[in-house]
Structure 1
């Protein structure tokens, strides 16, 4: 793998050198590709256009990010920003690269979670949009436009991850291919209308099985904290290492969102039926609510408290989008109509 990693470093160096003037654009794209964006941005936007598509987005984001975590633990992928120093291959000719505020993620690097979740989630969105456009226009050209956007999105997110030294090119490619396959598979298996027991069992099962896998690997002498140690060693700014990028943060986000999805469908089966104007209002209020929920500061000590509160935060995401805000908007607009 040394040759593959070395070639990846030189690709990142060339990309930084030729596009450094677009640094802010790359950072914005990498934020759009963050798995967290699927829960906080794409999910509410799609839900208020099509309930089933919105549920499919949340479902696909949670399952694909969880699977990405498990695969990363199995593959022990390096990240460019620490491999440069650890490999000791660049002592005489160090690459002219720099780190950024989004560089220092602490989990293993392969496959890319940004690429994998983006490929899975956006496939759900563009396939639904493409099908809708074709059903209305019977135009293959117009219906193909979302798929072109999908390709551009994948390439852009992948390049942004290489640019900031978070991933090697082969990790981005692996994540994109895996995410595409997952998107195709999961979009046909949307748990719309499933029981609360199903979601509770799924959330608990994913959480416990992952914790047991972690404990089992630790007992076999496999130190899964190796990537965190390297991240702290080679990150150029200590404050860029955040607990919400740790592997267990992804796990608690996914399990919390799945449980929250089940609770939301239990409280209000079928969701609220709203005309387009109240839907737009619900989207605006939900987006503001999720923005402030995401910004809530959480104590990082002890870590168990942080992960518990992080879990609760993402349990609340579907409640806000699917039950609380549209219910409030329905109540207000219904009174006005009367």
Structure 2
């Protein structure tokens, strides 16, 4: 049976490598033909990365609506957790890693005819599939567009025209495709990783909306153990990989191996940091459960600005003060606690000051 599977395994691996080699030309095309938009691509990948969305754009949405903030934080946290677990369990290679591995492989007689430029933002330390930027940005844009559309629909009769809906859909697609082009231009992802990232994000939004009553009605006694189970599962994956002689930190080692300047790499992009961030945000939501019982008080715009601004100023200070000199355990424990505090304060305690 095992011998019969070998040809199939070899064919699948060969097909996969051919596909990646073909997709390298798409990254090369993006760098050659889209250089005029480099400031935009750098802005999208840098300013709209998942960490900035969690630490800046979600709190900013609370200035306009606490309901929007809760919606964004809950769906984005679930989608980001799904993304982090996939990359933690099976990280996929990135374009620059794959290309340089091809050139370094002495067994290959024919080398790739592709040349890709590396940027500071190209030094990612997690796997490529699914693209976190595409997945989180897609979810963010979809939810934000839905809230804006409903707000305008309720206040302006002219917005009932189907013409506005026809304009909104291409705008959403254009924004998502722009993020894809940003990742392709920086050679951080293959095209299929961007497409699947957005697809998984869309499916995550759909699954959340279908089950929103069930998820928001879960009591704390149910939600907290569920998050603890996910944490235990993440830890078990680490030891399972060690048992099967698989490197749990493969993606980080690839980044150190092929990044031209190690100082370009950020700890915020590592798979373990992403897991801790997402589990911390989930624990904050779990401690605030059931989410249906949370009150959304009415208040003035400027009061919301002051309250949320104070919280984010404190959160920024805590991020800057992250302990990095006392070992990995202290660092991850601190980051987990900070994210628990941040998400719990956003959804439960901040509204009390409105």
Measure how far apart 1:143 and its partner are.
Answer: 4.2
User: Structure 2 residue aligned with 1:205, among 229, 236, 244?
Assistant: 229
Q: Which moved more, 1:93-102 or 1:33-42?
A: 93-102
User: Are residues 1:101 and 2:120 paired?
Assistant: yes
Tell me the distance in 1 between the aligned counterparts of 2:152 and 2:166. 9
User: Structure 2 residue aligned with 1:244, among 268, 284, 302?
Assistant: 268
User: Structure 2 residue aligned with 1:115, among 109, 134, 137?
Assistant: 134
Look up the match of 1:160: 182
- Paired residues of 1:5 and 1:168 also in contact (CA < 8 A): yes
TM-score by length of 2: 0.82
- Paired residues of 1:35 and 1:114 also in contact (CA < 8 A): yes
User: Are residues 1:231 and 2:255 paired?
Assistant: yes
Look up the match of 1:48: 63
Tell me the distance in 1 between the aligned counterparts of 2:149 and 2:109. 47
Measure how far apart 1:192 and its partner are.
Answer: 4.1
> Could you give the per-residue CA deviations for residues 196-239 of structure 1, whole angstroms, max 9, x where no partner exists?
33432232122111211232233233323222221111011111
**Number of residue-to-residue matches in the alignment:** 329
Unaligned runs of 5+ in 2: 1-15
SS in 1 for 2:146: helix
Measure how far apart 1:122 and its partner are.
Answer: 2.4
Measure how far apart 1:102 and its partner are.
Answer: 1.9
TM-score by length of 1: 0.86
Look up the match of 2:302: 277
Change (3 A) 1:276 1:160: same
Measure how far apart 1:160 and its partner are.
Answer: 0.9
User: Structure 1 residue aligned with 2:346, among 318, 321, 324?
Assistant: 321
Unaligned runs of 5+ in 1: 331-338
User: Structure 2 residue aligned with 1:83, among 98, 107, 116?
Assistant: 98
Compute the RMSD of aligned alpha carbons. Answer: 2.8
Measure how far apart 1:109 and its partner are.
Answer: 1.1
User: Are residues 1:139 and 2:161 paired?
Assistant: yes
Change (3 A) 1:266 1:188: closer
